[in-house]
Structure 1
Amino acid sequence: MPDLQEIVHEIADEMARRDDRGDVATYIPELAHVDPARFGLAVVAADGTLACGGDCDLPFSIQSISKVFTLTLALGLAGDSLWRRVGREPSGNAFNSIVQLELEKGVPRNPFINAGALAVTDVILSGHPPREALGEILRFIRFAAQDDSVFIDESVARSEKATGFRNAALANFMKSFGVLRNPVDFVLGTYFHHCAIAMTCEQLARAGRFLAHSGRNPDTGCSIVSAERARRINALMLTCGHYDGSGEFAYRVGLPGKSGVGGGILAVAPGQASIAVWSPGLDESGNSHLGRIALERLARRMKWSIFGQ
């Protein structure tokens, strides 16, 4: 049996030595200050064993990874009726593209592009004040991670609000088609804040464990979602979790995963482990460049690809 901790350390050491780190996101000014030399990797195995390497205990902005948790919440609130307001197909376009929305009458292609996440956020609001909806999102992520220290980075949220013109355009466009039912400002404010949640790799890996274990936390035995719903969320992560780089991620890594422009990726090896990696430099699709390479190394060495060994 491979030594998981040894493999994680070796991968972290290799990534620390590489010069091809990608470019940090600059369109959110607060993210432009993040050191591109950072790299963290955390893996929580089925038996609860934690293997960490690099900057695994340093909080970072999870950005669009939060969409995994908001989708889980929205499905709990709306069930399959959610799919009348957002699709389940890969987009093939940039994560903030407005082109498809016009062609498809304001219905976003999937819940992980920005437009889709705005529709999901609207479902969670359900007429509640943004503060209450945001509190519910944060409580859920803290519960999944079993860690109450997970927090919202207010400086990142302010930075997103100050520069979020494309997201505002997407939200207003969807509102014009009746896809959003709450005030646009409420939806945007909640969205900017849940994308600004900060977590360490260890916290994020622990928060994703229910997706690796049929909807349950294997430590507590607590069921967070049904096994069927966990499978379907994983399916969406595989097909849509890396925007127009999702096919490449599935080809290279072979695991369900969700990226964020903060440089994080949450990946799931069903029945085996929950994995979080962080490297702030992004590739052309807005996904962590070294994060994807590290996960490819890990999946190969641990024989975790869902497509076989």
Structure 2
Amino acid sequence: MLDIDTPQPITREELQPLLERLAADAPRCFGEGKVASYIPALAEVEPDQFGIAVCHADGSVQYAGDAATRFSIQSVSKAHALVLAMQQLPPDELWARVGREPSGQAFNSIVQLEVENGVPRNPFINAGALMVTDMLVSKLWMPQNTLRDQIRRLSNTPEVDFDERVARSEMDHKAHNAALGYLMQAYGNIHSDVEMVLDTYFHSCALSMNCIELAKSFAFLANQGVNPFDGQPVLTPVQTRQVNALLLTCGLYDAAGDFAWRVGLPGKSGVGGGIVAILPRRMSICVWSPRLDSYGNSIAGRHALEGLVSGLNVTPLG
């Protein structure tokens, strides 16, 4: 048997210098990638920024860089929408209309959706998020406000709100997502008015938050489903494990396997440049930098998460 010394996880006092080193190192990636341009309001964001925040399972926070700068969370909101749907719907109803498998396709692919008769592979691709939104629209009176209010509670930040300019910009350039919605409706798998579903979905993507607030809003996934800021359960421990499993296998679209290889944490990205990651029972993490790779994921953010996992001396999949 090999005699391998297991490194000890670093302390919180040692974590702060690590976060500051990662923030100082991030500009090395600023020459790579580009900001999302298919939504005009996102194309105007200053590209060379970086923030990182860690929320421990007890709710305490550490951060560095531009962690207090708000940005459009975009597809990171899909994870919160799924959590809300899991709270509102019985499992057999929810999972009969959306799958739990990696897509292996781009986040906005329409080809796979047609081949599989209008049933999205998972809740984190655009078609799957539209499907989850349709279920929320059918169940709730004002689903976008319900989602916003839940995120306010989870982040312990009552100021979290929509960026209406971003929401309008997305609605003005809705053609591709509308095609996904109407195709699913043609297969009988979207039950609500497609335009209402799109408006609700775009508002959830247009929530404006910073790294600190986003990390806090996901802390319950590192705390067995309990919100550390009010002590209230958000999900059961089993549901928490299930969401983390989906984040690991599907959260970074067709780059999910590479992210699991490099970082090894459940995660969810958005084209606003944010990535949220979970170290179960320890912490939730948010990184943000607007320049994206060809998959729509933050380049500097992914590099920072690799460095963070290495610096933490943890082997989440080891």
Normalised-by-shorter TM-score class: over 0.9
> Paired residue for 1:197?
207
> Paired residue for 2:17?
6
The answer on whether the counterparts of 2:184 and 2:190 sit within 8 Å (CA) in structure 1 is: yes
Residue by residue over 1:266-298, the C-alpha shift from the partner in whole angstroms, topping out at 9 and shown as x without a partner, is 110001111001000001111111101100100
| Partner SS for 1:126 | helix
2: CA distance, partners of 1:305 / 1:144: 27
The answer on whether the counterparts of 2:23 and 2:65 sit within 8 Å (CA) in structure 1 is: yes
Q: Which amino acid aligns with 1:138?
A: R
Are 2:197 and 1:187 aligned? Answer: yes
After TM superposition, give the deviation of residue 17 of structure 1 in Å: 4.3
The answer on whether the counterparts of 1:21 and 1:36 sit within 8 Å (CA) in structure 2 is: no
Over 3 Å counting, the alpha-carbon distance change for 1:170 and 1:55 in structure 2 is same
Are 2:110 and 1:98 aligned? Answer: yes
Q: Indicate the larger mover: 167-176 or 212-221.
A: 212-221
The answer on whether the counterparts of 2:57 and 2:220 sit within 8 Å (CA) in structure 1 is: no
Instruction: Choose the corresponding residue for 1:26, options 34, 37, 49.
Output: 37
Q: Which amino acid aligns with 1:8?
A: L
Q: Give matches, 1:124-143, under 5 Å.
A: 124-126=136-138, 128-129=140-141, 132-143=142-153
2: CA distance, partners of 1:134 / 1:144: 15
Q: Which amino acid aligns with 1:36?
A: P
2: CA distance, partners of 1:271 / 1:28: 36
Instruction: Choose the corresponding residue for 2:178, options 152, 159, 168.
Output: 168
Equivalent pairs counted in the alignment come to 306
Over 3 Å counting, the alpha-carbon distance change for 1:50 and 1:128 in structure 2 is closer
2: CA distance, partners of 1:160 / 1:7: 37
Q: Can you give the 5+ residue segments of structure 2 that lack an aligned partner in the other structure?
A: 1-9
After TM superposition, give the deviation of residue 77 of structure 1 in Å: 1.3
Instruction: Choose the corresponding residue for 1:89, options 84, 96, 101.
Output: 101
> Paired residue for 1:251?
261
Are 2:106 and 1:72 aligned? Answer: no
After TM superposition, give the deviation of residue 126 of structure 1 in Å: 1.3
Matched-pair identity in %: 50
Residue by residue over 1:245-277, the C-alpha shift from the partner in whole angstroms, topping out at 9 and shown as x without a partner, is 000100000000000000000110001111001
Q: Which amino acid aligns with 2:38?
A: Y
After TM superposition, give the deviation of residue 156 of structure 1 in Å: 0.5
> Paired residue for 2:234?
224
Residue by residue over 1:163-187, the C-alpha shift from the partner in whole angstroms, topping out at 9 and shown as x without a partner, is 1110000000000111111111110
2: CA distance, partners of 1:73 / 1:47: 22
1: CA distance, partners of 2:58 / 2:313: 17
Q: Which amino acid aligns with 2:216?
A: R
Q: Which amino acid aligns with 2:120?
A: P
After TM superposition, give the deviation of residue 135 of structure 1 in Å: 0.8
> Paired residue for 1:148?
158
Over 3 Å counting, the alpha-carbon distance change for 1:151 and 1:32 in structure 2 is same
Over 3 Å counting, the alpha-carbon distance change for 1:110 and 1:142 in structure 2 is same
After TM superposition, give the deviation of residue 239 of structure 1 in Å: 0.3
Q: Give matches, 1:112-123, under 5 Å.
A: 112-123=124-135
> Paired residue for 1:36?
47
1: CA distance, partners of 2:85 / 2:183: 21
Q: Indicate the larger mover: 158-167 or 40-49.
A: 40-49
Residue by residue over 1:147-171, the C-alpha shift from the partner in whole angstroms, topping out at 9 and shown as x without a partner, is 1111100010011011111000000
> Paired residue for 2:119?
107
Are 2:276 and 1:266 aligned? Answer: yes
RMSD (Å) for aligned C-alpha atoms = 1.2
The answer on whether the counterparts of 1:269 and 1:305 sit within 8 Å (CA) in structure 2 is: no
Are 2:75 and 1:61 aligned? Answer: no
| Partner SS for 1:13 | helix
The answer on whether the counterparts of 2:29 and 2:299 sit within 8 Å (CA) in structure 1 is: no
After TM superposition, give the deviation of residue 144 of structure 1 in Å: 0.7
After TM superposition, give the deviation of residue 300 of structure 1 in Å: 1.0
> Paired residue for 1:290?
300
1: CA distance, partners of 2:114 / 2:197: 20
The answer on whether the counterparts of 2:268 and 2:276 sit within 8 Å (CA) in structure 1 is: yes
2: CA distance, partners of 1:303 / 1:198: 32
The answer on whether the counterparts of 2:268 and 2:275 sit within 8 Å (CA) in structure 1 is: yes
After TM superposition, give the deviation of residue 127 of structure 1 in Å: 5.5
Q: Which amino acid aligns with 1:52?
A: Y
* TM-score, normalization by structure 1: 0.96
2: CA distance, partners of 1:134 / 1:264: 20
Q: Which amino acid aligns with 1:108?
A: P
